[in-house]
């Protein structure tokens, strides 16, 4: 059985909505479902390399489609004596030819660790027929591997801590214990994220009491991370992490996904005026309503990168509302969101739990 088959067959153990595994849903909730670098995980990877005396180390999160190296340590290139400002360790001259912080599930040995929920030590990969043909052996020259699963407090295996070498080596029992202890230590960071998520969910309970429809989308693909009760009542409840255009064809036809995408791409607020929407609710007082939407980007507090967009709608059917009023409301909501715990630009919140139609 290949590593690809291992991890795909194991997905059934973590059922989730929308055709994706519970592991992927968990990574989405934690804000870890992409390969962007994270300085905290980079430092942890450096620690793993130091403790195990391995030249290469990774903190690897694995969803249904790929492996994502949020933490990565690769030895600095000796030819580059002065590091470039703001570079992480992994960016300072990569001698190990890893083109990106992600890999398909068919590459490497972490998918096997996740599927088996147990550590894996390979002293010389070529001595194991099951693993010797893995693409990383020829493509990257990997000859030794040591990895341990990251099992969180929900008993979900979300990834691995692993170290690699380009030469065969005897890892031994001590190194195996080291990598397991490192995996356990890393869970403190995951628990911190869980605590912050709980704080953000409390804040979103207040958003649910707002008379304005509010929606939060994540990434350039406009995946819906949150929609408050007013939004669900007017436009319908989206499926968890569903695509904005697919969830709301009326709003898509009016250009809302384009406005949200522009806010994410440019880092500037966009306004979509006077959008006529047929009422979602049967027996509604008005068959047609007119809305104006303000789409405001959310930024990572540390890097300033845009990670999401908060969209606020205002019903202008029966009364005149100025663009300035709507912009002020949106700015207040964004400020409140970014003041809660860790910036949502670093970790966007999941759907609030327990509300029909919005929880997975």
15 shares its domain with 149: yes
Residue 96: per-residue pLDDT: 58
**Beta strands 120-122; 102-104: pairing state:** unpaired
Segment among 25-39, 57-71, 200-214 with least mean pLDDT: 200-214
Q: Do 304 and 183 reside in the same domain of the chain?
A: no
Nearest of 1, 27, 5 to residue 14 by alpha carbon: 27
Q: What percent of the chain has pLDDT over 70?
A: 75
Confidence of residue 355 (pLDDT cuts 50, 70, 90): very low
The answer to whether position 36 is within a domain reads yes
Q: Given 196, 221, 249, which residue is the final one in a domain? A: 196
Claim to verify: residue 269 and residue 179 sit in the same structural domain: no
Higher pLDDT, 131 or 235: 131
In a domain, 359, yes or no: no
| pLDDT grade for 358, boundaries at 50, 70 and 90 | very low
Q: Looking at residues 3-22, what average pLDDT do you find?
A: 45
Q: From the CB of residue 191, how many other CB atoms can be counted at a distance below 10 Å?
A: 11
Indicate the number of domains in the chain. Answer: 2
Domain co-membership, 218 together with 157:
no
Last residue of a domain, one of 196, 225, 260: 196
Q: Where are the alpha helices (DSSP H) in the chain?
A: 3-10, 22-30, 39-52, 110-116, 129-132, 135-140, 172-208, 229-235, 244-247, 249-253, 256-266, 323-339
pLDDT at position 241, please? 74
CA 200 vs. chain centroid, Å, equals 16
Where is average pLDDT lowest: 1-10, 241-250, 345-354? 1-10
Q: Are 340 and 203 in contact (CB under 8 A)?
A: yes
Question: Could you tell me if 161 and 217 lie in one domain?
Answer: no
Same domain for 22 and 124, yes or no, is yes
Within this chain, do residues 162 and 280 fall inside the same structural domain, yes or no?
no
Asked whether residue 159 falls in the same domain as residue 216, the answer is no
- Whether 183 maps to a domain, the answer reads yes
Decide if pLDDT at 105 tops 90: yes
> Are 14 and 63 contained in the same domain?
yes
- 355 domain-assigned: no
Which domain-ending residue is among 146, 162, 196? 196
State the residue range of the domain holding 142: 3-196
CATH number at residue 308: 3.30.450.20
Q: What is the pLDDT of residues 282-338, one digit of tens each?
A: 555 556 788 999 999 988 665 677 878 999 998 888 665 555 666 677 777 777 666
Assess whether 183 and 93 both reside in one domain: yes
- Give the list of residues 6+ apart from residue 51 with CB closer than 8 angstroms, or none: 178, 182
The count of other CB atoms within 10 Å of the CB of residue 53 is 11
The larger pLDDT score, comparing residue 44 to residue 352, is at 44
Alpha-carbon distances, residue 313 vs 92, 104, 225, 282 (angstroms)? 45, 39, 16, 21
Q: What pLDDT does residue 186 have?
A: 93
- On whether residue 144 sits in a domain, the answer given is yes
The reply to whether 39 and 156 lie within a common domain is yes
Residue 75 pLDDT? 79
> Which of the pair, 301 or 198, is modelled with greater confidence?
198
CA distances from 336 to 38, 50, 54 (A): 24, 40, 44
Q: What gap in Å lies between CA 307 and CA 265, rounded to an integer?
A: 10
CA-to-CA distance for 120 and 159, rounded, in angstroms? 13
CATH number at 157 reads 3.30.450.40
**pLDDT of res. 161:** 97
Please tell me the least confidently modeled range out of 42-46, 102-106, 332-336. Answer: 332-336
346 occurs within a structural domain: no
Residue 82 has pLDDT above 70, yes or no: no
Task: Report the predicted TM-score, pTM, of the whole model to 2 decimal places.
Answer: 0.61
Q: Are residues 259 and 293 in the same domain?
A: yes
pLDDT of 36 reads 84
């Amino acid at each position: 059985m290949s590593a690809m088959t291992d991890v795909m067959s194991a997905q059934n153990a973590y059922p989730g909505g929308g055709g994706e595994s519970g592991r992927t849903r968990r990574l989405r909730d934690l804000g870890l479902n992409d390969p962007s670098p994270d300085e905290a995980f980079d430092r942890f990877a450096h620690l793993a390399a130091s403790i195990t005396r391995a030249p290469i180390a990774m903190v690897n999160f694995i969803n249904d489609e790929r492996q994502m190296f949020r933490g990565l340590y690769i030895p600095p290139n000796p030819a580059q004596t002065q590091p470039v400002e703001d570079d992480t360790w992994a960016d300072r001259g990569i001698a190990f030819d890893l083109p990106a912080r992600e890999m398909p599930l068919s590459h490497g040995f972490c998918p096997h660790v996740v599927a088996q929920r147990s550590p894996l030590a390979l002293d010389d990969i070529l001595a194991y027929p099951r693993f010797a043909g893995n693409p990383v052996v020829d493509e990257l020259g990997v000859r030794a591997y040591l990895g341990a699963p990251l099992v969180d407090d929900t008993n979900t295996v979300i990834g691995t801590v692993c170290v690699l070498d380009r030469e065969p080596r005897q890892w031994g029992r001590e190194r195996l214990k080291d990598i397991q202890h490192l995996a356990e230590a890393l869970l403190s960071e995951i628990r911190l994220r869980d605590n912050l998520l709980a704080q953000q969910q409390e804040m979103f309970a207040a958003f649910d009491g707002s008379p304005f429809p509010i929606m939060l989308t994540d990434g350039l693909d406009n995946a819906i991370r949150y929609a408050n009760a007013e939004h669900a009542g007017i436009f319908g409840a989206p499926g968890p992490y569903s695509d904005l255009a697919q969830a709301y064809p009326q709003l898509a036809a009016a250009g809302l996904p384009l406005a949200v995408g522009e806010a994410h791409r440019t880092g500037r607020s966009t306004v979509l005026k006077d959008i006529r929407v047929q009422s979602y609710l049967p027996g509604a007082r008005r068959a047609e309503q007119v809305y104006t939407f303000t789409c405001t980007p959310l930024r990572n507090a540390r890097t300033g990168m845009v990670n999401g967009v908060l969209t606020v709608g205002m019903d202008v059917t029966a009364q005149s509302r100025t663009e300035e009023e709507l912009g002020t409301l949106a700015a207040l909501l964004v400020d409140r969101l970014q003041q809660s715990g860790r910036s949502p630009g670093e970790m966007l919140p999941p759907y609030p739990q327990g509300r029909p139609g919005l929880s997975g």
